[in-house]
Amino acid sequence: MDLKQLEYFVVVVEKGSFSRAAAALNLAQPSISRQVALLEQELGQRLLERTGRGVTPTQAGHALQAHARVMLNAAAQALFEIKEMSDEPAGKVVVGLPNRVASGLCVPLVREFRERLPNAMLSVVEGLSLSLREGLLAGRIDVGVLFDPPPTPLLSYEPLMRERLLLVTPEGYRLPERVSLTSLADFPLILPAVPNPIRSLVDAVMLPRKINLNIVAEVGAVHTALTVVEEGMACSILPESALNLSARRAKVRAAPIGPPAMWNSLVLAMPTARPASRLIQETARLLRALDFRAYRPAAPMPAGEE
């Protein structure tokens, strides 16, 4: 049996007619009919019943259709694996990075990519973790770096780093060495709105303890919340790396929260439903090797606290 004959037969069955199959395959209808007829001749079985509305598979046709799909999939997988054995991966890979991660890591990522994968092209998509996760699920992004994404069997998550959430205030505030959870209610807060991962983390800690925060406003991004704090209008709960975004670092104060401390997690995310090409695997390896000190603040996080 010829693989092309099996492909034509499967498309005819799926489309329900030779004419629709010809349009889908961009071929002349007589050539498809001839190949299916040769297949029936070789097998000694009628595979299709012609009707006024098109064709339907016979019992033998149903049996062949199931086997044909397996053979075609196996052939496609073999072709994919053989092509992946080339010395230099080629093609295009799309990487999703949160905005504040991209600001520190995009340059070294592009530099390493060009050096190690000269025959491939890198496309970096920046955005909020929620939109990047949707892009991974929809197939628009091949590999991504996300903050605290909700679990799903459709994506695999690999931890990359953690950073502690801080109470960030305007410069006029006097802060203790550590801010307790209950005392957070005393500060006017501007927080990212749900479903931002930081807001989800804060709510997960505060709501079960019945601690009502004084939230005076909600915004869509960490950078916006930090700008409001710099202007002296409110405080916020932000990850340590957010302080790197401040153009007026002297205008803000920060102190760790807890116990218990709240931690922001950064993960490497890849789809589980489709195979990762060698190019995607190599790109993921580059992401794992990036120096996250370029993204995180210089001061180390307190050790041994959860």
> Tell me, what's the pLDDT at 95?
96
The kind and range of the H/E element at 43 are helix 29-43
pLDDT mean over 208-218: 91
DSSP assignment of 124-145 equals EEEE-HHHHHHHHHHTS-SEEE
**Digit-coded pLDDT (tens) for 137-150:** 988 999 999 998 98
Q: Number of C-alpha atoms within 13 angstroms, CB side, residue 214?
A: 9
- Confidence class for position 247, pLDDT limits 50, 70, 90: low
> Tell me, what's the pLDDT at 293?
63
R_g over Cα of the chain: 28
Q: Which residues contact 161 (CB under 8 A, 6 or more apart)?
A: 265, 266, 292, 296
> Tell me, what's the pLDDT at 306?
37
**% of the chain with per-residue pLDDT over 90:** 43
pLDDT mean over 212-237: 88
What would the two tokens of residue 102 be? 């991209």
**Digit-coded pLDDT (tens) for 47-80:** 999 887 889 999 999 999 999 988 988 887 777 6
Rounded Cα gap, residues 115 and 93, in angstroms: 15
Domain architecture of the chain: domains with CATH = 3-83 (1.10.10.10), 91-160+264-294 (3.40.190.10), 163-263 (3.40.190.290)
- Confidence class for position 232, pLDDT limits 50, 70, 90: confident
Mean residue pLDDT across the chain: 86
Name the residue with higher pLDDT: 62 or 246: 62
262 within 8 A of 184, measured Cβ to Cβ: no
CA angle 265, 268, 273 (to 5 degrees): 130
- Confidence class for position 206, pLDDT limits 50, 70, 90: very high
pLDDT of 301 above 80: no
- Confidence class for position 300, pLDDT limits 50, 70, 90: very low
User: How far out from the chain centre does Cα 200 lie?
Assistant: 18
Q: Are strands 54-57 and 236-239 parallel, antiparallel or unpaired?
A: unpaired
Least confident of 43-57, 72-86, 96-110, 186-200: 72-86
> Tell me, what's the pLDDT at 83?
66
C-alpha pair distances (Å), 296 with each of 18, 28, 158: 60, 60, 18
**Digit-coded pLDDT (tens) for 279-290:** 999 999 999 998
272 within 8 A of 156, measured Cβ to Cβ: yes
pLDDT mean over 100-129: 90
> Tell me, what's the pLDDT at 102?
85
